[in-house]
Amino acid sequence: MIIPIYKIARPSEYLAITGWKIQDIKLAKKALILPGQRYVRVNVSPVNYTFNVQAMSAEKLPFVLPAVFTIGPRVDDDHHACLVLYAKLMAPHDMNSDHVHQLVQGIIEGETRFLAATMTMEEVFKGTKEFKKEVFEKVQLELNQFGLFIYNANIKQLVDVPGHEYFSYLGQKTQMEAANQAKVDVAEAKMKGEVGAKQREGETAQNAAKIDAETKIISLQRQGEGKKAEVKVKSEIKIFENQKEADVAKANAELAALKAGWSKSAQLAEVEAAQVVSLRGAELQVEVEKKNALTRTEKLRADLLSKATVEYDIKVLILMNFC
Find, among 63, 161, 51, the residue nearest to 109 by Cα: 51
Dihedral, 265, 267, 272, 276 alpha carbons, nearest 10: 130
12-23: average pLDDT: 85
- Beta bridge partner(s), residue 22: 19
Distances, alpha carbon 125 to alpha carbons 26, 87, 172, 221, 228, in Å: 48, 40, 13, 72, 81
Distance separating alpha carbons of residues 304 and 203, to the nearest angstrom: 143
H helical segments located in the chain: 80-90, 98-116, 121-126, 128-143, 166-322
Q: How many C-beta atoms surround the C-beta of residue 103 within 10 A?
A: 18
Percent of the chain past pLDDT 90, that is, above it, reads 0
Distance separating alpha carbons of residues 257 and 264, to the nearest angstrom: 11
Distance separating alpha carbons of residues 3 and 297, to the nearest angstrom: 172
Residues 6+ apart with CB under 8 A from 166: 61, 63, 121, 160
Check whether 51 has a pLDDT greater than 60.
yes
Model confidence at 312, pLDDT cuts 50, 70, 90, reads confident
Check whether 23 has a pLDDT greater than 80.
yes
Tell me which of 105 and 91 has the higher pLDDT.
105
Distance separating alpha carbons of residues 260 and 254, to the nearest angstrom: 10
pLDDT digits (tens, 9 = 90+) for 262-278: 888 888 888 888 888 88
Percent of the chain past pLDDT 70, that is, above it, reads 89
pLDDT digits (tens, 9 = 90+) for 111-146: 888 887 887 777 776 666 787 788 888 888 888 888
Burial of 203: CB neighbours in 10 Å, binned 0-12, 13-18, 19+? exposed
Domains contained in the chain, CATH given: 1-43 (no CATH), 44-164 (3.30.479.30)
Distance separating alpha carbons of residues 71 and 153, to the nearest angstrom: 9
pTM for this model (two decimals): 0.46
Q: How many C-beta atoms surround the C-beta of residue 65 within 10 A?
A: 23
